[in-house]
Amino acid sequence: MKYNFDELIDRRNTGAVKTDLCKKMFGTDDLIPLWVADMDFRTPDFIIDAINNRCKHPILGYTVPDEEYFNSIIRWIDVRHGWKLERNWLGFLPGIVPGLAFAVNALTQTGDQIIIQPPVYPPFIQVPSKNGRELIYNPLKVVEGRFEMDLKDLEYKITDRTRMFILCNPHNPGGRTWDADTLIKVAEICHKHGVLVVSDEIHSDMALPGNVHTPFASVSELAEQNSITYMAPSKTFNMAGLVSSSYIIPNSEIRKKFSDFMDNSELANGNIFAYVAAQAAYEKGTEWLSEMISYIQGNVDYIVEFLGKNIPQIKPMIPQASFLIWLDCAGLEMNSHQLQEFIVKEARLGLNKGTTFGPGGEQHLRLNIGCSREVLKQAMEQLKSAINSRLNK
């Protein structure tokens, strides 16, 4: 391989959330942090080089993205996902979680209902709630070890106050790449009831071998004209700190409401490095991404094999995309609080607590495997040792 994903890089004392907030998050920093969803791999050199090249110019003034920035995104999405965008559909977004808040505030009113599908990425719960919207849960079902949507329940839950459905595609924490048939049905239900779909597709470029990401808006005319899509290179190329995302809105009426809200709130602009880094990722990132996905698949295989052989009480949901694994720990016979105490204090690991993902997260943990195999092996040995010690008491 051209790139070294086994490299160990110390992130402590750099302001990294994953390491420097461990004390606040877990009560100790004496653990292996495998929680917040960025990777420990070196940000690719072609991104660092693009930033360094821009720094050669002596002025870092107000900057707008040029058309090549937008063209690089359009080409990337066409080649990787077969979705042909028109230039006017696309705009800069200063982060996808802020984008959720923008959509909620621009396109719904206080007291409106918003549907989400737990267990799901915690900001899906937090953003609507903090902005005075009523959350409606359409829980996912586990079918043959994989999340499936309950579409009958989805339609049943819609009322005359339901205005928005927030979709996680691919799903976090389950790593599910939703198939076109499912997305078509979601589009039909939401169009029928006048419910706007906001599709968070930040993990779209990280479908693992044998799997394909399908953009929601690409599956039908109904989906295209009743949706907002968010994409970004941030997870894929480990550059989340640059806050460089995109919104895609084919419907001109929805797009105007959204873009007017951003413009009126002075939220539509990014920074110099967000633009140049994203363009570099989309123009030069194919080989790096292929190797990274191959390495992540190796980490998935390692975790599945290790747990099956050594800790059968923990059942991993095998992801179809991304570097996150949802762990069903019910077999350890601990409640959610006991499980978290055990993982932190005895296994000395920092994982995301399942209950933060909403209903269905009880007795679960989210494991970030975007790290070197050596770190992952150490973490699993610590977990195995802690469980053996508890069983032998």
Positive or negative, the Cα torsion across 179, 182, 185, 189? negative
On the question of pLDDT at 1 being above 80, the answer is: no
Residue with tokens 């190329």: 237
Confidence (pLDDT) at 349: 98
- Predicted pLDDT at 268: 87
Nearest-angstrom CA–CA distance, 61 and 42: 28
**Distance between first and last Cα of the chain:** 45
Q: Indicate the Cα dihedral angle 70, 76, 78, 82, nearest 10°.
A: -140
Q: What is the pLDDT of residue 367?
A: 98
- The tens digit of pLDDT for each residue in 253-305 reads 999 999 999 999 998 888 999 999 999 999 999 999 999 999 999 999 999 99
pLDDT digits (tens, 9 = 90+) for 214-265: 999 999 999 999 999 999 999 999 999 999 999 999 999 999 999 999 999 9
Determine how many CB atoms are found less than 10 A away from the CB of residue 306. Answer: 19
Enumerate residues 6+ apart whose C-beta is below 8 A from 218.
Answer: 81, 82, 83, 224
Beta strands 162-168 and 196-200 are parallel
- Per-residue pLDDT band at 353 (split at 50, 70, 90): very high
Q: Looking at residue 13, what DSSP letter applies? A: T
Whole-model pTM?
0.97
**Residue 107 CB partners (closer than 8 Å, separation 6+):** 163, 164, 196, 254, 257, 258
Residue 390 is predicted with a pLDDT of 87
* pLDDT-derived band at 392, boundaries 50, 70, 90: confident
% of the chain surpassing 90 pLDDT: 98
Mean pLDDT of 133-152: 98
The rounded distance, in Å, linking the Cα atoms of 107 and 257 is 7
